[in-house]
Structure 1
């Protein structure tokens, strides 16, 4: 698998490099085939009935952290590929679309996405296969274009709402006027009930965007997700905004906001609200999430409740606006206007997390993230984030309730 991944990576690098050297279009003798090499490789018929596009992303990360972020409080660091992905997408017969993504740095479950969509019911799209379920603004925005290196820590409260978990599912989604909506059912591979039977996750998302273009965005969103398995261990743990704690060996600390209690809970649901506003180079976004775990009647536990919210301010110093797309209800890339200077963006985000169970626990965490992004061109992005965290009513093994981290990323996409 390592040799296979290496060869694919080299092939992707050669194709991506070629796309930077050649630009323009090539038309076949029959005037029915168009080849685009600017920013990637795409082949399509001129009638848009068939197409093929090759893309990918490489995200190389380095994190250093201490205090609450490690078990013993001493500084640790991690260097790793956050994502190394090869992607293929396209159309067939005009009304069918396909998406396939291979995660090259994962040998156990390398297939990130493998889905087929039917487009013949415009503006509604039907999708089946393996894909990430639709939940939340940060969850909908590609990892290539989220403002922070990592998304908000509130996603740790209910990670299953955005996780395909090697499973299969179906989704219906569409836009109309200023509205976007989606509904999906997904059966993750690890989602089993008490008898070992497969169980489903159900997601529903609705977006209202009276303003929906780059530099002019007003976005409201509502989400609901339900897991119909009948047995949950109730564990809620968090990386507090730093992925490297899971990549630093045994000393990285991923603390529990709520401990594992096997068989105590038989219901699991989450809901969230979204808000975003953008005016020119300025953007503001915020989300609130609540997850409720229902206790079994015979268990000596109360219902467990987890809540979180974040607020984020971002400003592009060079004047560019963040892209936005109503179909999907998501932010997209910043396109540099100056090819020499690139685009420079600064941001601040505050996250607040809490997990409660009456008479047992009431744990809170706060995370502050200050960052800068340099979009050197359409393919290269360099990011630096300074992150601090503070805990209430929990700590690492030596009693630290605060920690800090520096996260760096070099990203290449094509």
Structure 2
């Protein structure tokens, strides 16, 4: 068991309680830039009720069905100016760079250079500190592309926008690789006080790494060391092409959100093997029990602060997500999960989350000569401190 994460989080909470909490720390005005400092600390705990596969089997926990770990420790320095914005972010837990880029603002449009989140996932583009559930949906973790080095051009208004970009590898070496390009367009026919209807489409196309591609998915548990569905290595691959659809609706304290993505991995010309295709999707619903509603910015719903900071904001959520990695001779398996959760935001800096995940998966076993079901249950918690 790793005990440093809870201790570090407790120390951060105690230190902050001694002072007035704020959502971010304004440092100074340097030149034309308002410079601020932000941070995010998350500590997670997972408890597994295994079925067939030991979801924690390779973690060295002596057979224990639980895992505790610092999930993120992010430090972000930002500068906001009249013509340019810049950001430098680093995750000390994962030892990797986050957003590191410069944005040139040209009226309603902009050009951005550096490392930034790519455009093919509504959930990925939303702020990590305001995730509706502890683990992002399977479609986001599988087919969504996070941060890459590149250049993007974007334009938009209050209720519409588009981006087009080219990208390469991640800034941190030995992580995401494969140059490509992508784009996203969104439109919200309804944007008002407590009302939203949003639609979006996206596409990315990028090279596979070393002509090999592997698709595998954790069962909505970020600390799990095993995957229940897995294509294995697909050889002689050329490119991955992912198309996505997204939608969101807000009515007062209620939000419904969903995404669908389909990916095709094409083969090189020197093989007769067929291309592979798989898909994944989710639908989720969230209810702010304390009455708050959502905002809208840059094509994503934004989470509010509590109406009463001392009392906090309570949320109830439910999500159904599905993934299918079977295609032809490649039997990667299929999985569908139900997640129910409760979130509590206190003041501007603290969040407590609890999720229960019911997993239902099936994958072909060559030893059994048939599909084998594996249906574990997982209980998850998260303590979060951010400023």
Q: Normalising by the residue count of structure 1, what TM-score does the alignment of the two structures yield?
A: 0.80
- Taking a change above 3 Å as real, the CA distance of residues 199 and 318 of structure 1, as seen in their structure-2 partners, is closer
Q: Does the 8 Å CA contact 1:211/1:219 hold for their aligned counterparts?
A: yes
Q: Deviations over 1:139-182 (max 9, x none)?
A: 110111121111111124324x2242xxx211112213521111
- Taking a change above 3 Å as real, the CA distance of residues 189 and 340 of structure 1, as seen in their structure-2 partners, is closer
Residue 205 of structure 2 corresponds to 226
Residue 205 of structure 1 corresponds to 184
Residue 259 of structure 2 corresponds to 287
Distance 1:336 1:190 in 2: 36
1:106 is the counterpart of 2:94: yes
Matches within 5 A, 1:246-257: 252-257=225-230
Distance 1:202 1:145 in 2: 28
Distance 1:243 1:229 in 2: 24
Q: Normalising by the residue count of structure 2, what TM-score does the alignment of the two structures yield?
A: 0.86
Shift of 1:304: 0.6
Secondary structure of residue in 2 paired with 1:259 = strand
Distance 2:274 2:193 in 1: 46
Q: Does the 8 Å CA contact 2:362/2:373 hold for their aligned counterparts?
A: no
Q: Which has the higher strand share?
A: 2
Residue 76 of structure 1 corresponds to 65
Distance 2:77 2:263 in 1: 35
Shift of 1:15: 12
1:42 is the counterpart of 2:26: yes
- Taking a change above 3 Å as real, the CA distance of residues 71 and 381 of structure 1, as seen in their structure-2 partners, is closer
Shift of 1:129: 1.1
Distance 2:195 2:240 in 1: 37
Distance 1:191 1:88 in 2: 18
What RMSD over aligned residues (CA atoms) do the two structures have, in Å? 3.1
Size of the aligned set, in residue pairs, is 368
- Taking a change above 3 Å as real, the CA distance of residues 15 and 100 of structure 1, as seen in their structure-2 partners, is farther
Shift of 1:225: 0.2
Distance 2:15 2:190 in 1: 35
Q: Does the 8 Å CA contact 1:69/1:404 hold for their aligned counterparts?
A: no
Matches within 5 A, 1:369-384: 369-384=339-354
Q: Work out which of the residue numbers 289, 294, 308 in structure 2 matches 1:322.
A: 294
Q: Does the 8 Å CA contact 2:229/2:325 hold for their aligned counterparts?
A: no
Distance 2:366 2:292 in 1: 42
Distance 1:190 1:374 in 2: 34
Where does structure 2 lack aligned partners over 5 or more consecutive residues?
58-62
Shift of 1:97: 1.0
Q: Work out which of the residue numbers 160, 173, 185 in structure 2 matches 1:179.
A: 160
Q: Work out which of the residue numbers 273, 281, 298 in structure 2 matches 1:301.
A: 273
Q: Does the 8 Å CA contact 1:280/1:320 hold for their aligned counterparts?
A: yes
- Taking a change above 3 Å as real, the CA distance of residues 266 and 63 of structure 1, as seen in their structure-2 partners, is same
Q: Does the 8 Å CA contact 1:145/1:331 hold for their aligned counterparts?
A: no
1:262 is the counterpart of 2:250: no
Distance 1:323 1:106 in 2: 30
- Taking a change above 3 Å as real, the CA distance of residues 397 and 311 of structure 1, as seen in their structure-2 partners, is farther
Distance 1:173 1:275 in 2: 20
Matches within 5 A, 1:148-187: 148-159=133-144, 161-164=145-148, 168-187=149-168
Distance 2:381 2:197 in 1: 30
Shift of 1:238: 0.2
1:409 is the counterpart of 2:356: no
Where does structure 1 lack aligned partners over 5 or more consecutive residues?
1-5, 23-36, 193-197, 246-251
Q: Deviations over 1:256-295 (max 9, x none)?
A: 43121332x2121001000000000011011110000112
Q: Work out which of the residue numbers 31, 35, 49 in structure 2 matches 1:52.
A: 35
Q: Does the 8 Å CA contact 1:386/1:405 hold for their aligned counterparts?
A: yes
